């Protein structure tokens, strides 16, 4: 078992969660979390770059 990684098990001994030492594995966790977020958002509607740029220009947050 890796140091700083601990499994939480239920009453049947089945792994149900994991606890990691963020001081040791914080960057790895961030990568893992980013992948989860991207996967969760994979089916969300898309907006083209041009429409985002146009909206930002209209809001005065970007020079056209």
Give the model's pLDDT for residue 64: 77
CA distance 22 to 7: 15
- 50 close to 40: Cβ distance less than 8 angstroms: no
Distance, in Å, from the CA atom of 23 to the CA atom of 29, rounded to the nearest integer, reads 10
Tens-binned pLDDT, residue by residue, of the chain (64 aa) = 789 999 999 999 999 999 999 999 999 999 999 999 999 999 999 999 999 999 999 999 999 7
Residue keyed to tokens 């990684």 = 5
Domain residue ranges of the chain, discontinuous segments joined by +: 5-58
| Closest by Cα among 5, 44, 48, 9 to 24 | 5
């Amino acid at each position: 078992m890796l140091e700083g990684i601990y499994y939480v098990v239920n009453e049947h001994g089945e792994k149900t969660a994991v606890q990691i030492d963020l001081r040791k594995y914080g960057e790895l966790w961030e990568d893992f979390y980013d992948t989860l977020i991207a996967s969760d958002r994979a089916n969300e509607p898309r907006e083209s770059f041009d429409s985002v740029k146009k909206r930002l220009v209209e809001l005065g947050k970007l020079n056209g």
